[in-house]
Structures are given as structure tokens and as C-alpha cells.
Amino acid sequence: MSKNLYNFENRTAVITGGAQGFGLDIAKRFLNSGAKVIIWDIDPKMIEKAIKDLNNPNLSSNIVDVSNYKEVESCTSNIAKKSNIDILINNAGITGPTAPLWEYDIEMWKKVVDINLMGTFNCCKTIVPNMIKNNYGRIINVASVAGKDGNANASAYSVGKAGIIGLTKSLGKELANKNIAVNAVTPAGAKTRILDQMTKEHVQRMLSKVPRGRFLEVEEFTSLVCWLSSEENTFSTAAVFDISGGRSTY
């Protein structure tokens, strides 16, 4: 698969959940396209491995729990003292357990929503003022087809991702009079470690819904995110871009 490069020179990107999966692949393509990248992740071992594997002087990192507003605010403040924040990829998320809603553990419900939805809110709340100051920004919020369709036995995850879609539409409209684009992407299941958090039955059920008959490749997802993150995206905002292999046609 060819990997087109974009001109991200003199741009700084923050990628949450950037030490693995979608986030790591996006970081790689951004770096290859000239960006400075700061990955935020909660897993220090994965961060260490990502830094070593990518081996790029334009890559740095912070250990951040995106559901902790004070941590996010502190990291944002430290970055903003030295640099603009031009691109924000809200990618950090967890699936949580699979269980019927009436059996769902309350604390796990809160954790899933806190990381997926409140984490996205926290990052937008702290980073958007920097983008407003510079009249430039590209924000991509990673939602899911689960946020559109709802997945049985994954109500917390579906709710969190649906919330991200609503947040994207609101924030995109609030910033539409500036050179700041806010968009969401809704991938179907992909070949990442997040599948390891699910039962085999749940994974098979997800796959059976995809007309393409396969999981999303990480590189395919990155290509969409790159265009949305680029200066070429001058008009689309407050929108939801589907990448589900035909599962969701709206």
C-alpha cells in the first residue's frame, strides 16, 4: 500500500494513546511528513518502546491519564510555553468489559466513559485556546461505528463514542469562524491490541457486520486522519467521517 506524505513541517501534533495501535501509526506517518509529535499515553513501557522503535528526534512524550483534567492541563501548559499545538488526535480509549447493561459494573462504566469521552473533552478544553490564539488547528476525535449503531454488550463504549460524535459537532460549530477544523472518524474493528480486550464471540460478531469481510488495516485509518489533519482540509468541520468497510452507510 502506498503511503502518501503530507506537508506537516513546522506543525506540532499531540496524539493521545500514541504509544500503540492507531496512535503509533499516525505518529509514524506524521513524523515522516515533517511534524513534531508528542505522544501522550498512560503506559510508560509502551512509550519507551515507541520512542525506541520510531527513533526520531522530533518525537517526544508525556505519561498522561487523559481522564485526569489536571494532568492534561499541566502537560498542555508546558507544551504551549515552547510551541504552538497545531494538531490534536484524540485517540486514547478503552473498550471495557462486554456485558449486558443491567449486569455492567458501575465503576467500569464510569471508567470507560471517563477515558473515552471525558478524556476527549479534557484535551479539547485545554488545547483549543492555544489553537484560537494562533488561528490554526486540526482536531480529529476517534469515535467508532459503535457510537453510531450501538454494540450489544458494549453499552459504555457505545455511549462514550456517541458522546464524542456529539462533542465534535458542537465544538466544530463553535470554531467554524476560525481556521480550526474539528472532525470525528468512525472506524469499524481494526487489527489493533484493542481486539485483545474483547471475547472471541464479540470480535466475530463485529466482523460479521462488515460488508468488506475483513478488519480495517491501521494504515488505511492513518491515511484518512492525515488528510483531516492537513492544511488541505479547509472546509470540512463538525463532520463524521466513516471508515467502516460499508457497515455504516450514514
Q: Which residues have a catalytic role annotated?
A: 157
Burial of 180 from C-beta contacts in 10 A (0-12 / 13-18 / 19+): buried
